[in-house]
Chains A and B, each alone.
Chain A
């Protein structure tokens, strides 16, 4: 028996979004904005850091989710029809992230310790204006391609154009996020470098994206009227992807840790030292390893954990929280290893980002068909392999 849910009619659209959703979202934005503004007065360095870490987290999540929906289309996956629309909705959040990135330029001196230092031959690369320009252009390109892709879907344009945009977007994601990883995170410790770090950062975005899609699939399927389309089979496949990417993250982490540990070279080990020798970073590193990396994998090995929506959602939330911790651990020990206080401002600003995400994506999901006709048409193509 095919355990994938059978296609039925969804409840139709536009779907009403409960008022309390918008109210909570607005409240979150207000809380986040207030935390940011007040924090600028009391502790600007920590406040800019909190905004920066949130930017890294939410940009990876949103771009990762969009990239997944594009990848599903390029790979001609038929089981992801309603999930694709959830990924498309994330495109509406990208312009907000662009604005945040532009705002981060104002706080650059708190974020990038190499500004104003002697960088030798690297000064041409590690120049704040040049860096923000190239990264901003990359994010802009990604945003424009995402919008173009979703527009082609809305126009039911199944021509070559959709495939071309999709492939371009996939390539752009990899290159842009590699660049972001090197520019925004690796450069926080200018003496340190790791060739795989850009790839690791890009992979983290995909991991965040699939976790977010899993949470959305579980929590929104009722509202979107696609319970019949998002069933045990879809949950199992989402769980398998989540598990695979947890393994991949562990692999990318280990691929960096092993050569660095083995050769023990000062320019490389300088990144690891605060994270494995100082508290609370050491304890947090262990938590990260056994939740975000190995923990998610171990939990999802059991098939029932994947097939039940509640447990899948719980594990996906663990992955999301773990990656939040990961972003925090990537930045804070490099910039402020002595700042060991609980990052309440980080959480409050995070609520603001969450509110903005809901505020931008909910209207899209409300007025868009839960399943695109383009995705339904894909089913017929699979007959080729029978």
Chain B
């Protein structure tokens, strides 16, 4: 069994966090998790996992909504094919409203559920490594590394300005 160590550090200054990420990246570390009280898109380039399929899925949801909207309107109008007000049953101009609203509705719901799914936002217990201060004014950096690297990672984090560094137990 390959045991890995988890090193948990707490930063009070986001600049220290950025510096630590840069150095860890230079060291070839890939298994890192950052905790922050605010979104940090500026750190995207320092972390291995970037981007999100949420936007693409939102587009797909929106297009589906548009198709459903127009299909519902035109299809239901053609069932009886009644001429009302001298207008064709399948008039596109008024159906743009329904098509547009369903585009937004399905696109928005898709975006929301995609976020819940990809961010694993379901009512699950908070992981043990989480510190409530990460929702306040501290930034957390959890590095998973081989036991032999623990000391060097710990030293690197302290040099970068970490207020606390906890070299955690083994993680299989």
Contacts and interface: CB of A to CB of B under 8 A. Distances in A.
Asked if the two chains touch in their complex, CB atoms less than 8 Å apart, one says yes
Interface of A: 1-2, 254, 257-258, 261-262, 264
A254 B86 contact: no
A261 B86 contact: no
A198 B93 CA distance: 23
B27 interface: no
A254 B96 contact: yes
12 contacts: A1-B42, A1-B44, A1-B45, A2-B42, A254-B96, A257-B93, A258-B93, A258-B94, A261-B93, A262-B94, A264-B85, A264-B86
Interface string B60-96: 0000000000000000000000000110000001101
A49 B86 CA distance: 36
Contacts of A261: 93
A261 B93 CA distance: 8
Given A1-B42, A254-B96, A257-B93, 9 more contacts: A1-B44, A1-B45, A2-B42, A258-B93, A258-B94, A261-B93, A262-B94, A264-B85, A264-B86
Q: Closest 3 CB pairs between A and B?
A: A1-B42, A261-B93, A258-B93
Interface residues of B, number: 8
Contacts of B94: 258, 262
A2 B45 CA distance: 12
A83 to B, nearest CB: 24
A262 B85 CA distance: 9
Interface in B89-110: 93-94, 96
Nearest to B45: A1
Contacts of A254: 96
A123 B72 CA distance: 50
Interface string B37-75: 000001011000000000000000000000000000000
B139 to A, nearest CB: 17
A357 to B, nearest CB: 37
A264 B88 CA distance: 13
Contacts of B45: 1
Nearest to B55: A303
A1 B94 CA distance: 44
Nearest to B93: A261
A257 B97 CA distance: 13
Contacts of A257: 93
Contacts of A262: 94
Contacts of A2: 42
Contacts of B96: 254
A254 B45 CA distance: 42
A70 to B, nearest CB: 31
A271 to B, nearest CB: 15
A258 B86 CA distance: 15
Interface in B113-129: none
Contacts of B85: 264
Nearest to A262: B94
Nearest to B91: A261
A302 to B, nearest CB: 10
Nearest to A301: B59
Nearest to B41: A1
A173 B94 CA distance: 33
A297 to B, nearest CB: 13
A354 B85 CA distance: 48
Nearest to A258: B93
A325 B42 CA distance: 42
B70 to A, nearest CB: 15
B30 to A, nearest CB: 21
A150 to B, nearest CB: 36
A82 B86 CA distance: 55
Contacts of A264: 85-86
A268 to B, nearest CB: 14
Contacts of B93: 257-258, 261
A345 B98 CA distance: 43
Nearest to B86: A264
Contacts of A1: 42, 44-45
A11 B44 CA distance: 33
A2 to B, nearest CB: 8
A195 to B, nearest CB: 19
Contacts of A258: 93-94
A257 B91 CA distance: 13
A172 B85 CA distance: 42
A262 B97 CA distance: 13
A261 B87 CA distance: 9
A6 B93 CA distance: 46
A258 B44 CA distance: 45
Nearest to B44: A1
B63 to A, nearest CB: 12
A74 to B, nearest CB: 29
Contacts of B44: 1
A1 B44 CA distance: 8
